[in-house]
Amino acid sequence: MPVSFADILDAFEFANTDSSLGDYHAVVCRQTGKIYTYAEGSDLEEFNDELPDDIEDEEKYIAIPDKKELGLGKPLALNFAREHLPNDFDEVRYIFSKRGAYRKFRTLLEKRHSVDLWYAFEAKAKEQALRDWCNLNEIAVVD
């Protein structure tokens, strides 16, 4: 059953939410294409879909990956710096060797007037990585 790519992207964003309210997850039913979202450790119903009893069946459901699984964390920032900020590559590599990297990276992007360029680069990479993931896992997507 085809799944809307926009729904996959929304589920990816949900599953990669950084929050103290719980661990966020999204899974796709391979048979129906329905996406289920839930937050472990959260009692807030707005975060939790009614989950099927067999949600743990890995043949039937597949978890939406996190950004690290798709190489969309540090490696992506380094690729961006290599391509768009070559004179700052060593600084970006250093930034990502410490805690609080994204805040410091954002500050550098602002100094270099490259925030919009970064967001476009990140969005393109995210879309390609998710489409590749869907293909690899035989999830048919429609635009």
pLDDT single digits (tens) 89-138: 999 999 999 998 999 999 999 999 999 999 999 999 999 999 999 999 99
Rounded to whole angstroms, the Cα distance separating 127 from 70 reads 11
pLDDT single digits (tens) 124-141: 999 999 999 999 999 999
| Residue 57 and residue 37 share a domain | yes
| Residue 42 and residue 15 share a domain | yes
Tally the domains of the chain. 2
Q: Contact at 8 Å (CB) between 32 and 17?
A: no
pLDDT(46) > 70: no
pLDDT given for residue 127 in this prediction:
96
Tell me the residue range of the domain where 55 lies: 3-64
SS3 breakdown of the chain: % helix, strand, coil, rounded to 5? 50, 15, 40
Whether the CA torsion 45, 49, 53, 57 is positive or negative: it is negative
pLDDT given for residue 51 in this prediction:
87
| Residue 86 and residue 114 share a domain | yes
